[in-house]
């Protein structure tokens, strides 16, 4: 699984003109599942994001996690995180898990992250066309990949 995580002062996701998920300070998680991902990837990624020290402490250093600051998370499915431009100028998404495999992993990730941070995690809708709005705090943007832990 791959996640692009942005530290935000606020973020929201809208479908057909209706806001379906929104948060104040916390992290926006754009999440993609790769062919072959499993519940092990879900558990690793949820734990890693909940513990990632990407929030400032009193001295202005990134020493605190989303749990430490009582922050929120908003999760949006994004299969395009596994797009490649190996040939031509149109992306290929052959590495992305098919929806029948990806959606259950997405739902398990949301549940695992909610448990890790100790609060409900709002989401977009899997497979929907969504408009995502955010105010990136920092800006801070990081990439996490369960198959490349040092990424």
Catalytic (active-site) positions: 78-80
**Within 13 Å of residue 41, how many CA atoms lie on the same side as its CB?**
22
Task: Please give the helix or strand (H or E) that residue 20 lies within, else none.
Answer: strand 18-23
- Per-residue three-class SS string for 22-62: EECCEEEEEEECECCCCHHHHHHHHHHHHHCCCEECCCCCE
Contact 92/45 with Cβ under 8 angstroms?
no
Contact 14/20 with Cβ under 8 angstroms?
yes
What distance in Å separates the CA atoms of residue 110 and residue 76, rounded to the nearest whole number? Answer: 10
């Amino acid at each position: 699984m791959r996640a692009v995580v942005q530290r935000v002062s606020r973020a929201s996701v809208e479908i057909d003109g209706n806001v379906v998920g929104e948060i104040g300070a916390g992290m926006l998680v754009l999440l993609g599942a790769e062919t072959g991902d499993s519940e092990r990837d879900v558990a690793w990624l949820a734990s890693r994001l909940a513990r990632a020290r990407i929030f400032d402490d009193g001295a202005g250093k990134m020493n605190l996690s989303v749990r430490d600051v009582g922050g929120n998370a908003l999760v949006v499915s994004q299969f395009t995180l596994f797009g490649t431009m190996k040939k031509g100028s149109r992306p290929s998404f052959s590495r992305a898990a098919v929806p029948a495999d990806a959606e259950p992993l997405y739902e398990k990730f949301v549940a695992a992250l909610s448990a890790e941070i100790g609060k409900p995690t709002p989401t977009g809708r899997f497979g929907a066309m969504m408009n995502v709005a955010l105010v990136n705090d920092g800006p801070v943007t990081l990439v996490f990949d369960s198959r490349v832990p040092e990424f």
